[in-house]
Amino acid sequence: RRFLASKEQFHAYLRAGGEPGGQADAEGEEEVGSCQSEPPAKRVRSEDPSQDGESREDAGAVEKEPAERKRARGQNKSRPCMKPNHYEQSRLCPSVTQGCAEKCYFGPRCRFLHDVGKYMAVKPADLGRSCVLFETFGKCIYGVTCRFAQAHLGDGYQNIVNTDLAKQWEGKSLVRNNLSKDLQHQLRKRKFIFKKADEYLCGLAKSHSNGGKGGKATGHSTEEQEVSNCTTPQEGLGDSPACPVLPEQGKDPKPDALQSPGPTGGEEASSIKTVGPVTDEDLIKLRSREKRKLEIQGKLYLAPLTTCGNLPFRRICKRFGADVTCGEMAVCTNLLQGQSSEWALLKRHHTEDIFGVQLEGAFPDTMTKCAELLNQTIEVDFVDINVGCPIDLVYKKGGGCALMTRSNKFEQIVRGMNSVLDVPLTVKIRTGVQEKINVAHKIIPKIREWGASMVTLHGRSREQRYTRGADWDYIAECAKIASPMPLFGNGDILSYEDANRAMQMGVSGIMIARQVSVGALIKPWLFTEIKEQRHWDISSNERFDILKDFTSYGLEHWGSDTQGVEKTRKFLLEWLSFLCRYIPVGLLEYLPQKINERPPYYVGRDYLETLMASQNVDDWIKISELLLGPVPTSFTFLPKHKANSYR
C-alpha cells in the first residue's frame, strides 16, 4: 500500500518529473485542466452479473444514466481525422529520392519538389543520429527524406551505402505477401480468373435451380430466412453473371456441390500455367484429409488483433515466444477490389514461421473467390474465417457472429473455401450471439463435417463482447465434442497459471488476445512467462526497451521518412492505450492479477514506471516523443477504444 496515491498526487508526481516533493505539493490541489474529463479513479471491480454486457459495450447506445455513472465503452466512432498532412506541403518527389528525377511520371504537372536544396531548407530537423535502416541493411532507401538522414548523407546530399552490409541482404525477401501492381490492376479491372471458385458456385447455383423451391442442405436449421443477393455492388465483385448463387428456399436434399466440394470436371487443368514436368499434384486433386496438416497442438497462438496486431507488434510477440501468428482481420470484398491498405494486413515477416490470415465476409461467392485469390498469390500456412467479430458494422451485414445464425450460408462458405484452398482452413467462433444461449456445441460438429481443420472458441457471447469472465467449463465441453478436430480455447489467459488451467481443460492449445485487463497487448512477455512458468517482474527500463524495438520495427516497416515516422507514432500510441493497464508484479498484493481488476492511482518504483501507468493521452504522447521526437504542430490523438483514455 506504500505505492497508493490520490489522483492529484499521481499527476503532481508526473508534473514534477519524479521529484520526491511532487506528491506533497498536490495536497489540496485541484485537478489540472488536462484532467477535467478524466473518469473516476480506477478501483477493483468485481463482476456484476446484473449488468448487461451488450449495453456497456455498444458505443452507439444512448444511455440515460447520470453523467457521473456513465462509463466509456466501445469505439470512438466520431473521432476526428488525425492523419498528419503537414509534410504534404513541401514533399520531395519520389523520383528524386529514387535517383531518376528525369523520369518523373507526372512531368511538369508534378506538385512535389524536385530541387533537393529547397527541400532541405524546409525539411524538419532530424530526430536522431542513427538510422535503423542504414544500420540494419547498409542502405536507407529514403535518402534525404529520412528523418535520420545525417547518419547516411555525404557531400552534396549523396546517400551513402555500406556495400558490405548491403550485399548480405541482397536478393533476400524480408517481408512477403506484397501486392504487385500487375495483380492490383487485374483485380481493379476484374480480369483475375477464379476458375475453381466459379466451378463451385456454378454447381451451387445448379443445385438450387434443379431443386425448384428447395435449396437448403439436409439437417440445417430453418431459422435462416434471409436471401443472399450475391450480385450487389458491395458483395458481388467479380461474380460470373452466368452462374449466380441463388437464394436458398425451403428444404431440399443436400446439393451436389456441397457433397463434393472438389472440382466437378475430370478434365480440369490448373488455372496457373506452369512450365516443367507433369507431377501427380498436377493431375490429382487432394482430398481434404490429404491436405497439409496444421500441426500447432500445444503451441501458443497470438490472436489476430485489429489495429494493434500489426507486423511490428507480431515481431515483438515472436521474440517473446509466440509460436503461431495471424494477420489482422481482412475484409474479403476489399481484398477483391485490390485495396492496398487491406492487402497490407496480409504481409508476413520472414521470422513468422507459422503464419495465417483471417478473412471476414458474409457470402459464399466473395469468400470463396477471396480464398482462391490468396491461395494463388500469397504464402500462408492456414486461412481463418472470422465468425466471432461482435461489432455492429460487421454483424449487421451478416458477417462475424451473424454467421452462427445463418447456418446455410456458413456451410456454403466453409465448403467453398475448403474446396479451393491447398492449406488448412480454420474457424474462430464465440459461444453464441445471446448471452445465456450457447450454440457453439451444436455448430462445432457441423464445422468438422464441412471440412475445417481447427476451431478456436472464445468463451464469451457476442452480447458479452469482452466483459465478464470466459466460460472455460463450456469450452472444455466443446473440446470433447470437437474431437478429433483440434479446438483452441480463448479468453482470460492472464498468467502462466491461467494457461496451465486452460490446458487441463482438454483443449488442443490456447489463443492469447487482448482480454479486457491483460493479454498480449498489455503484456506481450506473457508468452515468455507461460513457457518459463514464472511471473516476470519486468522493470520499466525493460518495458521501455520493448517500445524502442517496436519503434525500430515500425520505422523499418512503414518507413523512416516523415510519413513513416508519424504512422509509427500512431500505432505506438494505440498500443500505449493498452500498455498503460499493466500493473507491475512487484506492486501487486497477491498473484496473479485477476480479470477486470483495475488498480487505484499508484506511484511506481520510479518515474518511468509511473509515467507508463498514466491513462492520460498527454503522457502517452510524452512517451512517444522520447522515442520519435517532438510531435508536429497541432497534433491530436484519440484512441480507437473509448475505455482506454480520457481527453
Pick 361 or 90 by higher pLDDT: 361
Supply the residues annotated as catalytic.
389
Dihedral of CA 562/564/567/573: which sign?
Answer: negative
CA distance 61 to 58: 6
CA 111 from centroid of its chain's CA atoms: 35
Q: Per residue in 325-364, pLDDT tens?
A: 999 999 999 999 999 999 999 999 999 999 999 999 999 9
Q: What is the DSSP string of 273-329?
A: ---S---HHHHSPPPGGGSPP---TT-EEEPP-TTT--HHHHHHHHHTT--BEEEEE
Which conformational region is residue 207 in: left (phi greater than 0), alpha (psi within -120 to 50 degrees), or beta? alpha
Whether 167 has a pLDDT exceeding 60, the answer reads yes
Q: Per residue in 529-539, pLDDT tens?
A: 999 999 999 99
Q: Per residue in 307-328, pLDDT tens?
A: 889 999 999 999 999 999 999 9
Can you tell me the mean pLDDT for 90-110? Answer: 81
The residues near 532 (Cβ < 8 Å, ≥ 6 apart) are: 496
Q: Per residue in 514-565, pLDDT tens?
A: 543 346 888 899 999 999 999 999 999 999 999 999 999 999 999 999 999 9
Residue 241 confidence class, pLDDT cut points 50, 70, 90: very low
CA distance 488 to 452: 13
Residue 454 DSSP symbol: E
CA distance 127 to 150: 10
Pick 284 or 590 by higher pLDDT: 590
Rounded to two decimals, the pTM is 0.80
Pick 340 or 23 by higher pLDDT: 340
In a 13 Å sphere around the CA of 388, the CA atoms on its Cβ side amount to 29
Would you call 369 helix, strand, or coil by DSSP? helix
Residue 152 confidence class, pLDDT cut points 50, 70, 90: very high
Q: Per residue in 250-294, pLDDT tens?
A: 333 333 333 334 433 333 333 444 555 665 555 455 555 567 778
Which pLDDT belongs to residue 581?
A: 85
Q: Which residue from 440, 421, 372 is spatially nearest to 192, judged by alpha carbons?
A: 372
Which pLDDT belongs to residue 269?
A: 38
Q: ω before 244 within 30° of 0 (cis)?
A: no
Complete domains list, the chain, with CATH? 94-174 (no CATH), 300-536 (3.20.20.70), 553-646 (no CATH)
Can you tell me the mean pLDDT for 399-409? Answer: 93
CA distance 490 to 479: 12
Of the chain, the percentage scoring pLDDT greater than 90 comes to 48
Whether 60 has a pLDDT exceeding 80, the answer reads no
Which pLDDT belongs to residue 11?
A: 82
